[in-house]
Chain A
Amino acid sequence: MFQEYYMAESVSDALSFLNKGPGDAVIIAGGTDLLLDLHEGKKRTKSLVDITRIPELKNLSMEDGIIKIGAAVTHAQVAESELIWANAPALAMAAKKVGSLQIRNIATVVGNIINAQPAADTAVALTALGAKVTIADTSGTRDVHIDQLYEDVGKSRVDCRRELVTEVIIPAHEQNQSSYFVRLEQRKALALPMLNIAVMVSLEKGQQRFEWVRIAMAPVGPGPMRATNAERILKGTEIDDEIITKAAYEAAAQANPRDSDLRGSREYRLQVLPALVKRCIKTAVAQVVNKG
């Protein structure tokens, strides 16, 4: 399957390994998708570079209102993190929904993003949360907004043979903000979603009006899709059922799901999408109100 398995000790060590060879080395963290792809011949490589023992990539912390999640942090760590539940709940909810406990124990959140599957739960949450990823190469690092990361189905704009995503950066919720994630699923574990929706709301003082709302939905396009028209409708408006309903239908109008023999028709997904968006918005608003 592969000939070399390299345990990188630092980010620079991993990058130099990637760049010294013929350019076919692949980074492995949890490997829950990669190893299957290699086994089934969908991907090929001679060398794997394991980044899970690089100390700085194991970081999960918050400083000055910024949450940082290193590339070796697993779904289980995020799903169990009080810090994430308190400051970016949609992400904890999404991380908890991936695969099974065994998978969550090794699969990383950054891997979930980079693998670029259309319905990656944490990527949907991170899109609503306005996250950025830090990409390192031999010349330095750059931060890229998660919206800009997707090239096509299964393809991110990170060049994994040359670059390494070191962490994901999320602005922590402020007092007037919260987020929520829902998933339409055929069973409660080990199933890809029929739909997943994440919403982050920021309310104006007095909690009567939306300051702004970010809505991410999937799988309705190559990557998590922002319901930008719905977001525009809600921006600065008074919070009421009517406007939320209007925005939810606008989100569906922007979505472009496919027909799937396994996970539901396009028609069905478009029909139920507004209800899920509404639930997300309303619950997120309620969570802000509950903060006091």
Chain B
Amino acid sequence: MKTFNVVGKNIKRNDALEKATGKAMFSTDMNIPGMLYAKVLRSPHAHALIKSIDTSQAEKIPGVKGIATWGNTPRELFNTSATMTFTVPSMEPVLDQYIFDKVVRYVGDEVAAVAAISEKVAAEALKHIKVEYELLPAVFDPLEAMKPEAPIIHECHAGKNIPAEIVKFGMGDIEKGFAESDIIFEDVFKLPIQKQAQLETQAALAQVGSDGGITVWSTTQTPHPSRMIISKIFSTPQSKIRVLNPPYVGGGFGVRIGLSAKAEPIAVALSKLTGKPVKIVYTREEDFTSSDTRHGGYVWVKLGCKNDGTFQAMELKSALNAGAYCSFSGETPGVLGAMGLAVYRMEHMSYYGHSVYTNFTPSGAMRGFGNPQAMFAIEAAVDTIAERIGMDPLELRLKNIIQVGDNWCLPYTCGSTGLAECVEKAAKVIGWERRGTLNEPGSKILRGIGMGVGTHCSNAWPFCVDYDNAIITVQQDGSILLAVGVPDIGTGTSTTLPQLAAEAIGVEMSQVNMTFGDTLTTPFDIGSHASRTLYAAGTAVVAAGNDVRKQILEYAAVVMKIALERLDITKGIIHISGSNEAESCEGSGICRSGEESMTHISVRELVYHAHLRNKQFIGIGRTIPPNSPPWHAHFYEVEVDTETGMVKVVKVAAAHDVGKAVNPMIVEGQIEGGVLMGVGYATSEEIKISAKGKPLHTSYHKYLLPTAMDAPEIHAIIVESNDPSGPYGAKGVGECGMVLSAAAIGNAVYDATGIRFNEIPLTPERVYKRLQENKK
């Protein structure tokens, strides 16, 4: 196997010191001279017509500089999510949002915004804006919202309140598949609304120049697509707009793929109205009520199997809660189906799924993007089937998982899988053989072990527009500047992409610097989402690195008078392949340019040699990434307190086939974070609403994210299948840790109690109620 100098090493993160010392800059920290502060007036009603808005009293308050409403802002439809920039024909993106509309469709919807000399003055001014509403009927459940009597939230062509399209695909003959099955499991599962709860709330600072040029610092995960959206809203050429992170973003988890809710357009609109820079930072409550959530809703699964455990057919359906605006409600049901049907091999499969508008906060992208919802249902089905045919659920899975080259429902091939290895390793760590022997008779605390397996994507190709560019410019001093348009949303991109560049060129990590998350200094990139950044942007970085390396070697061959094929670059030294590159010649006589006996030259010396002869090395990578499935097997051991219903996750073994771990420590961090987010999804996190649609979980205090105190013992296990398509074998990681928690915890709780929960979170009250019913 190829050995690497930089890839595969736990290189210290480039952002570590800045972040640990509090010096790293985030949008929330931005401050420029003359800046105004914005506050937003939000709807107290779930569905209403705005009959009138009177801002006259608010305008009189000293320090108020401008008030934006539907009347003085662009009437240009958009979609806050990047879907409007990357929906692939023949599908059409759904554009259903204005900055401010005459109708409000959820509690928290934008009504008006004030720019003032301070947040305090702006907040005071909001109290003096008089709005007359005419209340409209509201609906909150996706199944209710499809009924003929339900209020129309948006006119839709696909069906009553169904945004975008109904996603339908499959293979084989599903009816035949079930007819040939000995055992069929069928049930419906209900999923909650989860929140990304990223540390930095939505934020933007906009500055409009006298030439109409727009600069926006913001928390977006996708500066380039965000620039396209802003360009459309404000009818300004993209080339006059700069969108950047400053340079860090306090987490994403999907909540700002595209705009940061409406932070960017509100800031730009107010900056245009006032002629001053305007900053908006959402409060935590606003972030909860008025930025995208994970899709809740319903998933139906029907799984048919032979008595020997061979899967025959699977039918999957979904109806997801879109909330009040489309965002990613077209794509999420698609990914739910695609990932759900990609785990097990069988001839007959079918999927039918869509979202439904309701008067909830909009649902959008969140880590896993439909996949956790699918797997909660599917893995319950697999465990139930295993029990019915009397087979170990681990064996049943190993018998049916997809293998390389299998015919499956995805439009690309399965190029690698380390799933069987994941299962084997994680089973060993959790002690799978102890399953069934964990409880003494009469015990009030019951233990159980459950598992789940799954896959994901490594980017959004070919479902969405998905391409990458990277430019590597070798500076005259030999240092290297890598320019890639993806942000670092905390996943280590600003470390791992330079690692790839250093490896490709053959230089030390310390020689590579990077500019990122800035539309002015980087070429177009679709952004940091879909577990794609390392895999997809990395493909472009490696291409640019190879390009530079080739240019350097071609030049070196001439200078050194050695055949190109014989040269190599290692740790910044160009040398003859096979010779010891460590014998650096820097400073010695033989290094001098033009020496007959030259066997080594540093990149640093060579590029200056080239500079003096009017030449610079600039590498370009322009790639359309392929796609590849990462694989994962999760095992959870839980304790259920039968007297209180409390579910405690005790231990987790999470094995992930990541292709190749470019920076293993970062990979482990991603897995652990995903697991904990999944533990919250399975056991405690949910946004509920009052009868009138007012969200009840609107703060870190009320919304039950697990704390460090709640974290179980997590074993992150890395499996490397060396994917043929990814950079140095790497595949997607970011979302994967989140995909299986609910599925495996549901199975573990079943193992402990014999009760199948079709709805999460497994709150103590929900669990206790079923335990009591079960006693009767």
Contacts and interface: CB of A to CB of B under 8 A. Distances in A.
Interface stretch (A26-34, A75-83, A187-195): A187-195
Interface in A240-284: 261-262, 264-265, 268, 271-272, 275-276
B644 A276 contact: yes
Interface string B477-496: 00000000000000000000
Contacts of A188: 707, 709-710
Contacts of A100: 707
A32 B705 CA distance: 21
A186 interface: yes
Nearest to B700: A190
B483 to A, nearest CB: 40
A267 to B, nearest CB: 9
A62 interface: no
A149 interface: no
B772 interface: yes
Interface in A135-192: 184, 186-191
Contacts of A190: 700-701, 707
A181 B704 CA distance: 23
Interface in B742-772: 763-765, 768-769, 772
A200 to B, nearest CB: 22
A186 B643 contact: no
A194 B765 CA distance: 10
B768 A272 contact: yes
A102 B416 CA distance: 47
A268 B696 CA distance: 19
Chain A: interface secondary structure? loop
A17 B769 CA distance: 54
A1 to B, nearest CB: 11
B651 interface: no
Contacts of A265: 765
Contacts of B708: 189
Interface string B668-705: 00000000000000001000101000001100111011
A268 B644 CA distance: 9
B74 interface: no
A272 to B, nearest CB: 5
Contacts of B772: 271
Nearest to B708: A189
B709 A189 contact: yes
Interface in A65-79: none
B706 interface: yes
B645 interface: yes
A261 B644 contact: no
Given A190-B707, A275-B643, A184 B697 contact: no
Contacts of A261: 688, 690, 696
A186 B707 contact: no
A188 B705 CA distance: 11
A188 B712 CA distance: 12
Contacts of A275: 643-644
B690 A186 contact: no
A262 B684 contact: no
A188 B706 CA distance: 8
A113 B702 CA distance: 22
B107 to A, nearest CB: 15
A184 B643 CA distance: 11
A275 B645 CA distance: 11
B768 A186 contact: no
A265 B764 CA distance: 11
Given A187-B710, A261-B690, A268 B768 contact: yes
Contacts of A271: 768, 772
Interface in B703-753: 704-710
Nearest to A272: B644
A276 B701 CA distance: 24
Nearest to B703: A262
B644 A187 contact: no
Contact of A264 (B684, B688, B710, B764): B764
Contacts of B705: 187
Given A186-B684, A188-B707, A264 B765 contact: yes
B446 to A, nearest CB: 14
Contact of A268 (B690, B710, B769): B769
B512 to A, nearest CB: 39
B763 A186 contact: yes
Given A187-B709, A188-B707, A262 B765 contact: no
A27 to B, nearest CB: 24
B4 to A, nearest CB: 41
A187 B684 contact: yes
B714 to A, nearest CB: 16
B644 A189 contact: no
B123 to A, nearest CB: 11
B709 A272 contact: no
B707 A189 contact: yes
Contact of B702 (A189, A262, A268, A272): A262
B741 to A, nearest CB: 16
Nearest to A195: B644
B277 to A, nearest CB: 27
Given A272-B643, A272-B644, A272-B645, A187 B706 contact: yes
Nearest to B688: A261
A194 B764 contact: yes
Contacts of B645: 268, 272
A292 B706 CA distance: 39
Nearest to B648: A188
Contacts of A262: 696-697, 702
A100 B708 CA distance: 11
Contacts of A268: 645, 764-765, 768-769
Contacts of B701: 190-191
Contacts of A186: 684, 704, 763-764
Question: A189, A268, A276: which has the most chain B beta carbons within 10 Å?
Answer: A268
Contacts of B763: 186
A194 B641 CA distance: 15
Contacts of B764: 184, 186, 194, 264, 268, 272
Q: What 4 pairs across the A-B complex have the smallest Cβ distances?
A: A275-B643, A188-B709, A189-B707, A189-B709
14 contacts: A100-B707, A184-B644, A186-B684, A186-B704, A187-B706, A187-B709, A188-B710, A190-B700, A262-B702, A264-B764, A265-B765, A271-B768, A272-B645, A275-B644
Given A184-B764, A272-B644, 13 more contacts: A186-B704, A186-B763, A187-B704, A188-B709, A188-B710, A190-B700, A191-B701, A261-B690, A264-B764, A268-B764, A268-B769, A271-B772, A272-B764
Interface of B: 643-646, 684, 688, 690, 696-697, 700-702, 704-710, 763-765, 768-769, 772
